[in-house]
Amino acid sequence: MNVRKFSAATSRDAWRQVREALGPDAVILSNRTINGMIEILALAPEDMSALGDPVIEKPAVSESTLAAFGAAREAHQQIQPMQSMQPAQPAKAIIDDRHVDENQASNLADALAASRDAAPKSQGVAELAEVMSELRSMRGMLESQLAEIAWGTQQKREPAKAAVMRELLSAGFSASLARYLTQNMPKNEMTDKGMAWVKSVLSRNLSVISNENEILEKGGVYALVGPTGVGKTTTTAKLAARCVMRHGAGKLALITTDGYRIGGYEQLRIYGKILGVMVHSVKDETDLRIALDELKNKHTVLIDTVGMGQRDKMVADQIAMLSGTDSKVKRLLCLSATSTGETLNEVVRSYQGDGLAGCIMTKLDEAATVGNVLDVMIRQKLSLYYVANGQRVPEDLHVPNQHYLVDRAFKLKRETAPFQYQDEELPLVIGNTAHAMNDKGLREVTLG
């Protein structure tokens, strides 16, 4: 038995040599790349048959043949994951009695060569990704530390900015927005003048409707959306009462999609009965389309939707249902003033869809601070339609005033005295804002 070695620049040329020397039934033992050349070890078919002949009890096998079989076994183990996706084949040679043609053998040789190179490449990619991750981590730490040092120096040089920073944080505004405002505050301003400048900037960037004519006079179809428990049904009833007072019960229609919550439909039905307005219940997009088509002669249609957590996958289905009708449905997002800024920001991103008409601030009477919700509305460029501050229908619903809301945000901060930051804590807070300063919504805040 003789193991033959063939070398060529390409797999196709190497296989051609094997075929010419040993015939089309040659057995390929190994295929590897050495110094840029393709090397193939092969056996003649009669030698392979001799190995498998049961008459020969102890065939003499040379060391070179054993080494060749070891190389073949190694190559087989390397391509085993690729072969696992195909039906299992006998281990006795790749081209034994099937008489594969030259192209098939060449493709197989290329696959073997590729499998050898795949492991080092994937390992290199993983190492590169790990290095890049560590570099990004180091960059983040350096940015945070530099921000701490810079703020500590500025705090001593301009104590008025430190005082304004504390006021903003105590009012519930995010550290990144507070840092952005104080950095751009006019120099050498006293604390009082600095606070007046900050309030004017916040008021200028808070978008509110000027009067109720946006809804009550123009009319249209409005859907109140938002997470569970933010007061959508009660707010719907308050809006409905205002519409009835302005135009009469015959010009208003109420629709609910809340078929999940126990008593959800009944609650709105009771409000509708008091106002003399019929409440329609729909289950899906088809029902909603039919209902809106039947109610197209109404001046105003209010839709109370089922509450869903911002991470619920059904939020996207709800947005699609409201957007798939022939009538234009304007979505108003109810934002609870008692939620944290991080939660509110996540809610807006989830319910944004193809755009929101605006938002309604709810539970103002329950909130210790309102800077969090004002911060999110400024960043997300949301137009504020109404402010709700209680359960009374329709008294506890008000047209917003941006100056009043900003002023109220700073007046409420006395309730958060135990959670206010001290001077020595401010550098740590500022250090954590290094990444957030690139926020697009923050860069769009108008300063002057």
135-190 tens-digit pLDDT:
777 776 666 666 556 655 665 677 788 888 888 888 889 888 888 898 888 887 78
- Top CATH class of 209-400 equals alpha beta
Q: For residue 44, what are its two tokens?
A: 């003649």
| pLDDT of 237 higher than 90 | yes
User: For the residues 219-232, what does the mean pLDDT come to?
Assistant: 92
Q: How many CA atoms lie within 13 A of 391 on its CB side?
A: 2
Q: For residue 438, what are its two tokens?
A: 């690139």
What is the predicted pLDDT for the residue at 327? 86
**Beta bridge mates, 334:** 360
Read off the pLDDT band of 114 (50, 70, 90): low
- Residue spans per domain, the chain: 3-119, 209-400
How far is it, in rounded angstroms, from Cα 58 to Cα 74? 24
Q: pLDDT digit string (tens) for 257-295?
A: 876 665 667 888 888 999 999 999 898 888 999 999 999
Number of neighbouring beta carbons within 10 Å of residue 312:
14
Q: For residue 181, what are its two tokens?
A: 């405002």
Give me the phi and psi of 176, to 5 degrees please: -70, -45
Q: For residue 375, what are its two tokens?
A: 């911060």
Calculate Rg over the CA atoms of the chain.
37
**Whole-number average pLDDT of the chain:** 77
State which of 79-83, 197-201, 353-357, 419-423 shows the largest mean pLDDT: 197-201
Q: pLDDT digit string (tens) for 344-391?
A: 999 999 998 888 999 999 999 998 889 999 999 999 999 999 999 988
For residue 321, count CB atoms less than 10 angstroms from its CB and return exposed for 0-12, middle for 13-18, buried for 19 or more. buried
Give me the phi and psi of 211, to 5 degrees please: -155, 180
What is the predicted pLDDT for the residue at 167? 86
Q: pLDDT digit string (tens) for 16-44?
A: 888 888 888 787 777 888 878 888 888 78
How far is it, in rounded angstroms, from Cα 143 to Cα 2? 67
What is the predicted pLDDT for the residue at 434? 54
